[in-house]
Amino acid sequence: MKLNQIVFPLALALAATLATTGCKHQPMKVTPIPGSQAAPVGDNGGGGNTLPGAGTLPPDNGAGMNTTPGGGNTAALDTFEGMVKDPAALAANTIHFAFDSAAIKKSEDANLSTVAQALAGNANDKLLIEGNCDERGTEEYNRALGERRALAAREALAKLGVSPDRIRTISYGKDKPADPGHDESAWAKNRRDDFILLHPKTGV
Partner 1 sequence: MKKIILAVLTIGLAAVAPMGARAQEINIQSEINVMGQTKPIPISLSGFTGEGAEVLKFDLTVQGFSFVTPDAAQYLVSGSDAGGITGSLTDKFAKRVLLSRSYNGASLRRQAHAFADDIVLAVTGKKGIGQTKIAFKSQPSGYGAGEIYVADFDGANAQRITTDNAIVAKPAWVPGRLALYYTSYALDNPDIFYHSLTTGQRRKIAAYSGLNTSAAVSPDGAKIAMVLSKSGSANIWVCNADGTNLKQLTYGVQDSSPCWSPDGEWICFATEKSGSRRLAKIPAGGGTVQYLKTVGAPNPTEPDWSPDGKWIAFTSQMGDFNICVAPADGSAPPTLLVGGQNPSWAPNSRTLVFNRSMGYRQVLSVLDVFTKQYKDCVRATGSSSQPAWAK
Residues 159-178 that bind partner 1 (CB under 8 A): 168-177
CB of 107 to partner 1, least distance (A): 22
In the complex with partner 1, the residue whose CB is nearer, 18 or 114, is 18
Please say whether the beta carbons of 137 and 100 come within 8 A.
yes
CB of 115 to partner 1, least distance (A): 19
Task: Identify residues 5-44 at the interface with partner 1 (CB under 8 A).
Answer: 5, 8-10, 12-20, 24, 27-44
128 Cβ contact list (under 8 Å, min separation 6): 80, 85, 167, 168, 169, 170, 195, 196, 198
Task: Give me the amino acid identity at 69.
Answer: P
CB of 153 to partner 1, least distance (A): 13
Classify the C-alpha dihedral 149-153-158-164 as positive or negative: negative
121 binds partner 1 (CB under 8 A): no
In the complex with partner 1, the residue whose CB is nearer, 10 or 120, is 10
88 binds partner 1 (CB under 8 A): no
Task: Identify residues 38-57 at the interface with partner 1 (CB under 8 A).
Answer: 38-44, 47, 50-55, 57
In the complex with partner 1, the residue whose CB is nearer, 109 or 155, is 155
Please say whether the beta carbons of 129 and 193 come within 8 A.
yes
Q: Residue 173: beta bridge partners?
A: 132
CB of 110 to partner 1, least distance (A): 25
Please say whether the beta carbons of 198 and 125 come within 8 A.
yes
183 binds partner 1 (CB under 8 A): no
Return the half-sphere exposure (C-beta side, CA atoms, 13 A cut-off) of residue 98. Answer: 6
140 binds partner 1 (CB under 8 A): yes
Phi then psi dihedrals of residue 185, to 5 deg: -60, -45
3 binds partner 1 (CB under 8 A): no
